Amino acid sequence: MATIAFFAPIGAGHINPTLGLASELVTRGHRVTYATTEANAARVAETGAEIVPWTSTWDSLSLDDVPQMHGKELVRAMGLLLEETLAALPQLDRGQHPDLVVHDGPLCWWGRILAARWRVPAIETWPNLVSNEHWSMHREYTTFNPMSFRFLRVALRLGRLLRAEGLGNLQAFLRGDRAAIRLILLPRAFQYAGETFGDGFAFVGPGLTGRAFQGEWEPPRDGLPVMLVSLGTGYNNRPDFYRTVLQAAQGRPWHVVMAVGGADPSALGQIPPNVEVHRHVPQLAVLRHARAFVTHAGMGSTMESLHFGVPMVAVPQMAEQRANADRIAELGLGRALAPAAVTAAALWQAVEEVADDPHVRERLRWMQGELTAAGGARAAADEVEKVIAERSVPPRSEPKAESDNST
């Protein structure tokens, strides 16, 4: 059996989608290590993986410091990611080298570097929409100036690091060209232009785990339909939005469960008797009983909602979430509302429409079939074992030199 090292950034949206794969590989007898911070240790430990502790520079960021992923904020995010990479490398390059690295594709630069440094195959996990020449997140939803001083400064610093590691081609590195395969943790049917992604992209869908570490939740015995409200873990300090939800829910024949994250529950005013407010909730446990989900449309939450067949009202908070929200609406899986357009009346109208629409229910059943066909954690583990069989049995060789077009 192989030793497989997992690396991911600290965000729940990048860790949670990998837990099913880690658990499945442990079940198949592989030795799995997972580098994670103290805050995420409990969720990782549930998989049976061996925890490799490390300290993230991002632990010191407040929710208000989390950058948006477009324009100047995208450049700032790249700078923060470079600092995180420089901090992670010396912490994680210790002990016995694994046979294979599995790492987050969008944000885990240190996983790419360590796999090349150790001369072992790497598999990337992508918990979000992916891009090619037919559809690109950056073309459709984000913008930045590649000639800006701030971007060029980050690119030069990253280029120096890559040259020191023998990885001279900046564009190839950012694309993840060295990956043996990319595991896309959503079904092909949800991906824009999904039919245009060929070899190298395996759309395996989400691999959910029980998440016992989050606790349980049971609906009240009054039989009222349940609505979950959550803006995720990254951009959730939105007290005005939560007050709008409270206003919308007042006197409605629904039971509303609202997770407010970084917002102070005591600052939201009077809580109607049919609403329960928490900092965080066991999301999967609530979704099992939910009739509707008001969500930021992060891909993790989106896939979880689809797994349980729950229609969504998407209120995206950043560019990537806008792409997800538009896809939810386009595929008939719910509705999308611009944050600026959210009033109590508009929000509740959208909730009732998606909850009662037979077409939405039909589309949800279709997408549940697509998730099942994608295979989830088992299909992802099959892909990992293919790479182990094909790439790690021969003697390890030096990585091929990149073409001379480095930055």
Q: How far is it, in rounded angstroms, from Cα 337 to Cα 353?
A: 13
Instruction: Supply the pLDDT for residue 394.
Output: 43
Q: What average pLDDT score do residues 43-64 get?
A: 87
Q: How far is it, in rounded angstroms, from Cα 353 to Cα 355?
A: 6
Q: How far is it, in rounded angstroms, from Cα 272 to Cα 254?
A: 11
Residue 224 has pLDDT above 80, yes or no: yes
Residue 71 has pLDDT above 80, yes or no: no
Other beta carbons within 10 Å of 63: 14
Among 77-81, 341-345, 401-405, name the one with the lowest average pLDDT: 401-405
- pLDDT single digits (tens) 234-271: 777 899 999 999 999 999 999 999 999 888 998 999 99
Q: What average pLDDT score do residues 71-99 get?
A: 89
Domain ranges for the chain = 3-205+375-391, 213-370
Residue 392 has pLDDT above 70, yes or no: no
Q: How far is CA 220 from the centre of its chain?
A: 30
Instruction: Supply the pLDDT for residue 22.
Output: 98
* Averaged pLDDT score across all residues of the chain: 91
Q: Give CA separation, 229 vs 223, 284, 286, 332, in Å.
A: 18, 13, 10, 20
Phi, psi of 21 (to 5 degrees): -65, -45
Among 13-22, 147-156, 228-237, 325-334, name the one with the lowest average pLDDT: 147-156
Q: pLDDT class for 66, splitting at 50, 70, 90?
A: low
Instruction: Supply the pLDDT for residue 70.
Output: 54
Residue predicted with more confidence, 211 or 100: 100
Other beta carbons within 10 Å of 88: 23
Residue 401 has pLDDT above 90, yes or no: no
Instruction: Supply the pLDDT for residue 241.
Output: 94
Residue 404 has pLDDT above 70, yes or no: no
Instruction: Supply the pLDDT for residue 213.
Output: 83
Sign of CA dihedral 180, 115, 128, 13: positive
- pLDDT single digits (tens) 1-12: 899 999 999 988
Q: pLDDT class for 69, splitting at 50, 70, 90?
A: low
Transcribe 66-96 into DSSP letters.
Answer: PPPSSHHHHHHHHHHHHHHHHHHHHHHS-SS
Secondary structure tally for the chain: helices H, strands E: 14, 13
Token pair recorded at residue 65: 């410091």
Instruction: Supply the pLDDT for residue 160.
Output: 95
Instruction: Supply the pLDDT for residue 151.
Output: 81
Alpha helices in 32-147 (DSSP H): 41-45, 71-92, 109-118, 137-140
Instruction: Supply the pLDDT for residue 402.
Output: 39
Residue predicted with more confidence, 129 or 318: 129
Q: What is the 3-state secondary structure (H, E, C) of 283-294?
A: HHHHHCCEEEEE
Other beta carbons within 10 Å of 125: 27
Looking at domain 213-370, its CATH architecture is: 3-Layer(aba) Sandwich (3.40)
Percent of the chain with pLDDT over 90: 76
Instruction: Supply the pLDDT for residue 399.
Output: 43
Helix 299-307 to helix 12-27 angle (10° resolution) is 50
Looking at domain 3-205+375-391, its CATH architecture is: 3-Layer(aba) Sandwich (3.40)
Instruction: Supply the pLDDT for residue 273.
Output: 96
Fold match flag (3-205+375-391 vs 213-370): yes
